[in-house]
Amino acid sequence: MIFGIHSLLFRETFVEKDLPLLEHVKRMGFDAVEIIPFDPDHFPAAKVKSVATDLGLVVNTGYGMPEQYNIISPDPAVRSAGVAFSKRLIDLSQEAGARVFGGMIYCGWGYLTGRMRSEDEWKWGVENYREIACYAQRNSGLILGIEPVNRFESHFINTAADAVRFVQEIGLPNVKVHLDTFHMIREEDDFTAAVLATEGYLGYVHACENQRGIPGTGLVPWPEFFKALRQVGYDDCITIESFDPDIESVAKLCCIWRKLADSPEQLATEGLKFLKGVYAQAGLGGMPEGIQL
């Protein structure tokens, strides 16, 4: 298992001036970093790959698709624009040397129709994402992670079972499920059952406390979650995803209205220590000194 941290905990952007963040997260003990190329025109993909390679740091990328690139829109022009934009993000992810490109990458983030998803939306989503995945498959081993999110952010894919069905219908090996405990605690009936449902399809994991605070300070059943991950054989990257309320644009997007830690560094380092301890207890023996569940 390797452990990562999300760049949006520390930076609003990721352009060339943000490259020193890679060394910063490596010094804190992380094996990986997830980066959101919010400004594709100025994302230094080749330099990210070079710096990360020198540091021995794994790179993952993510995105929340804007509504104008929504591949389940009733407007065929919007769907077509979404496919094209997705291919551009895949090119950038590959250039940056990313292992996984995940998140709300399969429909518009925040797009809600006020109704349950329709058969047409499902058909458009599967057809368009199959085209996107075929494009990604041509050039690299990049994994595309389909992240179920809570009902307040999307009506389309809310549970692990939804994501597994979507991945199965796309039918390509580079499309996997991306689980996130922040969303799971709102939508799943049972943490263990949800993880077990992804067996053979799980490609990426976000470790987030229910309130986006330091892992271990909230309601997520971490021992149960890690034991289930081991049951399905997942032993890849787990990324802490949280956000700093002092970054106003990010806080607004993610509804972070209070301090979750004294500093981003505290959230990152204490969260990492806790998660490594739970991981050790779940499969490798006792807890390291100082960790309590």
The whole-number pLDDT of residue 139 equals 73
Local structure of residue 166 (DSSP, 8 states): H
Average pLDDT for 230-240: 96
The candidate with the shortest Cα–Cα distance to 100, out of 1, 205, 189, 27, is 205
Q: What is the pLDDT of residues 14-35, one digit of tens each?
A: 999 999 999 999 999 999 999 9
Residue 55 lies in a domain: yes
Using the CB atoms, write b or e for 231-265: b if 16+ within 10 Å: eeebebbbbbbbbbbebeebbeebebeeebbeebe
Residue 61 lies in a domain: yes
Residue 292 lies in a domain: no
Q: Residue 166 pLDDT more than 90?
A: yes
Q: What is the pLDDT of residues 1-11, one digit of tens each?
A: 999 999 999 99
Mean pLDDT of the chain: 94
Average pLDDT for 45-64: 98
Sequence-distant (≥ 6) Cβ neighbours of residue 178 within 8 angstroms: 100, 102, 103, 145, 146, 147, 163, 203, 204, 205, 206
Total number of domains constituting the chain: 1
Sequence-distant (≥ 6) Cβ neighbours of residue 203 within 8 angstroms: 100, 102, 143, 144, 145, 176, 177, 178, 236
Element spanning 284, H or E? none
- CATH number for the domain that contains residue 12: 3.20.20.150
Q: Residue 120 pLDDT more than 80?
A: yes
The whole-number pLDDT of residue 286 equals 43
Q: Residue 191 pLDDT more than 70?
A: yes
Residue 288 lies in a domain: no
Q: What is the pLDDT of residues 256-275, one digit of tens each?
A: 999 999 999 999 999 999 99
The backbone torsions φ and ψ at residue 125, rounded to the nearest 5 degrees and listed phi first, read -60, -50
Catalytic residues: 147, 241
Average pLDDT for 183-206: 98
The whole-number pLDDT of residue 291 equals 44
The whole-number pLDDT of residue 53 equals 98
Residue 31 lies in a domain: yes
Average pLDDT for 151-170: 98
* Residue 102, number of CB atoms within 10 A of its CB: 29
Q: Residue 287 pLDDT more than 50?
A: no
The candidate with the shortest Cα–Cα distance to 132, out of 98, 100, 160, 105, is 105
Residue 291 lies in a domain: no
Query: What is the C-alpha to C-alpha distance for residues 105 and 127, in angstroms, rounded to an integer?
Result: 14
Q: What percent of the chain has pLDDT above 90? A: 89
**Would you say 195 and 179 are in contact if contact means Cβ atoms under 8 Å apart?**
yes
**In the structure, what pLDDT confidence band is assigned to residue 293 with cuts at 50, 70 and 90?**
very low
The whole-number pLDDT of residue 288 equals 41
Residue 289 lies in a domain: no
**Quick check: helix, strand or coil at residue 167?**
helix
Domain that holds residue 58: 2-283
The candidate with the shortest Cα–Cα distance to 20, out of 39, 7, 9, is 7
**In the structure, what pLDDT confidence band is assigned to residue 292 with cuts at 50, 70 and 90?**
very low
Query: What is the C-alpha to C-alpha distance for residues 166 and 56, in angstroms, rounded to an integer?
Result: 33
Query: What is the C-alpha to C-alpha distance for residues 101 and 42, in angstroms, rounded to an integer?
Result: 18
The whole-number pLDDT of residue 149 equals 98
The whole-number pLDDT of residue 7 equals 96
Query: What is the C-alpha to C-alpha distance for residues 134 and 138, in angstroms, rounded to an integer?
Result: 7
Least confident of 100-114, 154-168, 243-257: 243-257
Residue 128 lies in a domain: yes
Element spanning 185, H or E? helix 181-187
The candidate with the shortest Cα–Cα distance to 225, out of 249, 193, 200, is 193
**Quick check: helix, strand or coil at residue 257?**
coil
